[in-house]
């Protein structure tokens, strides 16, 4: 009976292998690439672009004594911008995108497809048949294969996951700190020209701007990008022009900073102040990680064009101009940006600076939304509402709950610190930690995905770690001066994400261990030991194979079940999207007179469930098409196919002749011969295709009931206290406040049936 159960409920290897998808990745015309490059200014580059507002202030908070220090700091800024945003991110890291998606979790998804490091074991080899499941072949004896085997160890998987979650949490911290420092720095320009204004007024102005910024997020990146792009374009042209003016006015002495010797001389001084000033210089490259995380909104080529042709040259001119002014006005380091503006255009530049600061905030807010959406798909974040704001670009999203949380925390940081110096210290800590995480993940990508020569890997690793570890050592000295803020924020989010992921894994493991054998279902007979009433039951489960324990719990406690049962598994894969043509896999479970089916709906982390009516309609369309093809294939095998003709070839021809309706093609008929001796196809399918069509239609008209399992996870009484706190309090609390599955699937209340059970995690020792 066990063998029979295995044959009647196998994974959908053949079904997935015969899918003929018509999906093609969208191509961008040259004109569209230029247009998106322009639009990317308003979303991606605001953070990098507003750094000139506060870099020299945080580099020399107590003033400058030697003009050579200014030139040395400028030299560090120039080469930091060249090595990190330009070389590392724009030309290397952006190439490691996951089909256009960026961020630490996109790198993690890329690695999950090349090594079995995903902790939730819901993947199957059938998923590798997807068009978007791109992966490279690894030779068995290569260094990449050895690295792959090393990564697939249990504790290494957990370390990589924690590393990815730390990077994700730091990006969220950027989404809080960037608006605070950018807006506060821009608003501080009021006091430069009007010293009599109190600092409290500046803080109030900053708070008002922040509230307005977060209030317009629901309009979406597309509309916001078109609104902000001209502002940022004018901003870059202004700071570049002001830089040229100051170089012309105060002389080109600072251009010596383009020589790397001044980096060496600046660091060789060995003074503690010089070393600590690296924390301020680090702020010149903030926004590089947001540039990568915001990649979902724009093609790589657009981002590269915008940076190399406009952003990078204008930033170099802006910093060089400020340094030229500062060399002749050493006591103006605290507000060098506003002091260096020509008097006649001061207020117009102030207005543009304030607007540009708002844009800078937009870049990190958008990056936060993107990376949380990816975390949701990986089971690493509590379920929250995600809204797609653009019909053209599915990567453009808005998350209301996160938006308001960011706003509250951002206002708290602005009011709490009140000055740029402490916020800058906090900001630098978050930025350098994200960069370190990205570097470590990129090393694995270069080995596993790109198969780079070891010399290139060592060169990238050495250069990146030298720069980033140097900056990291500098920000460590400023933990007590505001650097603790991102660590505290990241600690809270890391706890939430890890506990949620841990609880999700334990729930899945429970479902996997307690699933019911097909032999038990067959032993109940076609009626399943109950009264089969007209209607269709959609039983939602996390299992892609096997009968979930919640179903046995249901039929042993209720006297009736619907005439048609469909087990629906909705699962996310480590891919950015699953084409509509490949989304659904349908197969029959058991003999035909049982009327039990399985449907697996597969999504990528970029995809979003549509309205339930649409989902349900597609599910039934695929179910009916499966029945039709099943009968047609049986007729073919009985009347047309010659004994020597392979059925797989005939089914393949049929698939191509039916206009790509392959999503619903099942190959049970190809393997039915293996169970014919036990359950003959003809004897079990006494009805015709029309009869089963009518049976399914009658069931659908009688009503569809959505059965959701509600498994409550509890720690065992003998578990350690911290695990009891994590499972019994934190995880349970998160489950209560997050969105229910019924809300995510838009299931009507009158068609919902919750089946609950309690699961005790016995192994939490």
Provide the sign of the torsion angle of the four alpha carbons 141, 144, 150, 152, taken in this order. Answer: negative
CA 363 – CA 46 distance, rounded (Å)? 6
CA atoms within 13 A on the CB side of 87: 13
Mean pLDDT of 630-639: 68
Q: pLDDT tens digits for 469-486?
A: 999 988 888 888 888 888
CA atoms within 13 A on the CB side of 232: 33
Q: Which of 10-14, 45-49, 226-230, 675-679 has the highest mean pLDDT?
A: 45-49
* Range with the poorest average pLDDT among 88-102, 426-440, 701-715: 701-715
Percent residues over pLDDT 70 in the chain:
83
What per-residue confidence (pLDDT) applies to 636?
67
Kindly state the DSSP code that residue 119 receives in the 8-state scheme. Answer: S
Taking CA atoms, 71 is separated from 242, 282, 734, in Å, by 18, 16, 52
Taking CA atoms, 16 is separated from 131, 485, 584, 592, in Å, by 11, 48, 9, 21
- Indicate whether 648 pLDDT > 50: no
What per-residue confidence (pLDDT) applies to 741?
65
- Indicate whether 430 pLDDT > 70: yes
**Is residue 163 a contact partner of residue 437, using CB atoms and an 8 Å limit?**
yes
**Dihedral, CA atoms, 480, 482, 487, 491, nearest 10 degrees?**
100
Find, among 656, 571, 608, the residue nearest to 126 by Cα. 571
DSSP per residue, 287-308: THHHHHHGGGGS-HHHHHHHII
* Range with the poorest average pLDDT among 240-254, 390-404, 573-587, 590-604: 390-404
Mean pLDDT of 122-132: 75
> Average per-residue pLDDT in the chain?
80
Mean pLDDT of 748-753: 71
Between residues 104 and 662, which one has the greater pLDDT? 104
What per-residue confidence (pLDDT) applies to 642?
40
Q: pLDDT tens digits for 545-555?
A: 778 888 887 78
What per-residue confidence (pLDDT) applies to 610?
54
What per-residue confidence (pLDDT) applies to 554?
79
What per-residue confidence (pLDDT) applies to 425?
82
Percent residues over pLDDT 90 in the chain:
24
Q: Which of 317-331, 612-626, 646-660 has the highest mean pLDDT?
A: 317-331
- How many residues does the structure list for the chain? 765
Q: pLDDT tens digits for 566-622?
A: 999 888 888 888 888 888 889 888 888 888 999 988 888 877 765 445 778 888 888
**Per-residue confidence band for 461, with pLDDT thresholds at 50, 70 and 90:** very high
What per-residue confidence (pLDDT) applies to 465?
94
Structure tokens, 684:
């079990």
**Residue 542 in 3-state DSSP?**
coil
Structure tokens, 168:
């994700």
Which neighbouring-strand residues pair with 569? Answer: 541, 600
Number of other residues whose CB lies within 10 A of the CB of residue 16: 20
- Indicate whether 22 pLDDT > 50: no
- Indicate whether 47 pLDDT > 90: no
Q: pLDDT tens digits for 129-173?
A: 788 787 777 777 788 888 888 888 878 888 999 999 999 999 898
What per-residue confidence (pLDDT) applies to 746?
64
* Range with the poorest average pLDDT among 82-86, 305-309, 415-419, 657-661: 657-661
**Per-residue confidence band for 761, with pLDDT thresholds at 50, 70 and 90:** low
- Tell which phi-psi region holds residue 708, choosing left (phi > 0), alpha (psi between -120 and 50) or beta: beta
- Indicate whether 17 pLDDT > 50: no
Structure tokens, 282:
């680090």
Between residues 764 and 94, which one has the greater pLDDT? 94
Number of other residues whose CB lies within 10 A of the CB of residue 610: 12
Question: Angle at which helices 420-448 and 484-513 pack, to 10 degrees?
Answer: 40
Between residues 70 and 523, which one has the greater pLDDT? 70
What per-residue confidence (pLDDT) applies to 407?
92
**Residue 145 in 3-state DSSP?**
helix
Global pTM? 0.81
What per-residue confidence (pLDDT) applies to 438?
94
Q: Which residues contact 409 (CB under 8 A, 6 or more apart)?
A: 176, 489
């Amino acid at each position: 009976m066990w063998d029979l159960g295995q044959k009647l409920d196998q994974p959908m290897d053949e079904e997935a292998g015969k899918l003929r998808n018509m999906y093609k990745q969208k191509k961008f015309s040259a004109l569209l690439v230029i247009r998106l490059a322009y639009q990317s200014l308003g979303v991606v580059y605001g953070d990098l672009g507003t750094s000139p507002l506060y870099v020299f202030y945080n580099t020399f908070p107590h003033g400058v004594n030697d003009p050579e220090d200014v030139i040395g700091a400028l030299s560090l800024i120039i080469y930091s911008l060249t090595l990190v945003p330009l070389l590392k991110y724009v030309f290397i890291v952006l190439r490691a995108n996951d089909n256009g998606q960026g961020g630490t979790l996109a790198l993690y998804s890329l690695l999950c497809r090349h090594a079995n490091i995903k902790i939730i074991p819901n993947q199957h080899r059938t998923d590798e048949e997807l068009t978007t499941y791109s992966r490279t072949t690894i030779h068995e004896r290569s260094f990449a294969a050895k690295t792959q085997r090393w990564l697939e160890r249990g504790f290494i998987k957990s370390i990589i996951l924690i590393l990815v979650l730390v990077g994700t949490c730091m990006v969220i911290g950027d989404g809080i700190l960037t608006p605070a420092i950018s807006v506060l720095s821009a608003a501080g320009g009021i006091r430069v020209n009007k010293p009599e204004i109190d600092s409290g007024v500046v803080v109030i102005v900053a708070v008002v701007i922040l509230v307005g910024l977060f209030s317009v997020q629901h309009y979406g990146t597309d509309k916001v990008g078109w609104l902000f792009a001209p502002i940022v374009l004018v901003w870059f042209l202004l700071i570049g022009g002001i830089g040229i003016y100051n170089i012309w006015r105060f002389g080109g002495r600072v251009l010596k900073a383009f020589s790397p010797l001044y980096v060496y001389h600046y660091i060789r001084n060995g003074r503690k102040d010089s070393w600590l000033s690296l924390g301020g210089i680090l702020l010149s490259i903030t926004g590089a990680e947001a540039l990568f995380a915001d990649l979902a909104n724009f093609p790589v080529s657009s981002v590269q064009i915008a940076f190399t042709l406009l952003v990078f040259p204008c930033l170099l001119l802006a910093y060089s101009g400020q340094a030229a002014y500062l060399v002749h006005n050493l006591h103006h380091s605290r507000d060098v940006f506003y002091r260096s503006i020509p008097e006649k255009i001061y207020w117009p530049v102030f207005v543009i600076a304030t607007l540009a600061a708002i844009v800078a905030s937009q870049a990190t807010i958008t990056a936060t939304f993107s990376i949380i959406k990816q975390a949701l798909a990986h089971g690493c974040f509590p379920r929250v509402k995600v809204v797609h704001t653009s019909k053209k670009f599915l990567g453009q999203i808005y998350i209301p709950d996160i938006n308001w949380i960011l706003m509250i925390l951002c206002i708290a940081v602005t009011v709490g610190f009140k000055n740029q110096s402490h916020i800058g210290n906090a900001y630098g800590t978050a930025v350098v930690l994200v960069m370190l995480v990205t570097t470590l993940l990129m090393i694995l990508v270069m080995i596993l995905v790109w198969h780079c020569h070891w010399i290139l890997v060592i060169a990238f690793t050495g250069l990146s770690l030298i720069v980033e570890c140097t900056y990291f050592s500098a920000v460590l000295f400023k933990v007590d001066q505001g650097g603790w803020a991102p660590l505290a924020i990241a600690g809270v989010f890391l706890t939430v994400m890890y506990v949620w992921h841990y609880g999700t894994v334990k729930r899945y493991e429970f479902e996997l261990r307690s699933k019911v054998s097909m032999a038990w279902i067959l032993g109940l007979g076609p009626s399943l030991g109950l009264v089969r009433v007209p209607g269709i039951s959609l039983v939602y489960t996390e299992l892609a194979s096997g009968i979930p324990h919640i179903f046995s719990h249901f039929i042993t406690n209720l006297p009736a079940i619907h005439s048609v049962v469909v087990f629906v598994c909705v699962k996310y894969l480590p891919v950015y999207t699953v084409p509509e043509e490949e989304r659904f896999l349908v197969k029959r479970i058991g003999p035909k007179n049982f009327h039990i089916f399985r449907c697996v709906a597969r999504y990528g982390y970029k995809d979003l469930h549509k309205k339930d009516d649409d989902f349900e309609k597609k599910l039934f369309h695929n179910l009916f098409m499966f029945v039709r093809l099943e009968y047609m294939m049986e007729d073919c095998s009985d009347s047309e196919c010659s004994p020597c003709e392979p059925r797989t070839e005939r089914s393949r021809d049929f698939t191509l002749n039916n206009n790509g309706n392959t999503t619903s093609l099942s190959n049970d008929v190809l393997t039915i011969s293996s169970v014919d001796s036990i359950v003959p196809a003809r004897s079990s399918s006494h009805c015709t295709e029309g009869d089963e069509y009518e049976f399914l239609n009658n069931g659908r008209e009688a009503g569809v009931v959505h059965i959701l399992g509600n498994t409550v996870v509890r720690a065992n009484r003998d578990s350690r206290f911290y695990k009891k706190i994590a499972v019994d309090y934190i995880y349970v609390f998160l489950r209560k406040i997050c969105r229910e599955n019924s809300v995510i699937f838009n299931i009507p209340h009158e068609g919902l049936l919750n089946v609950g059970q309690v699961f005790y995690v016995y192994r939490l020792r």
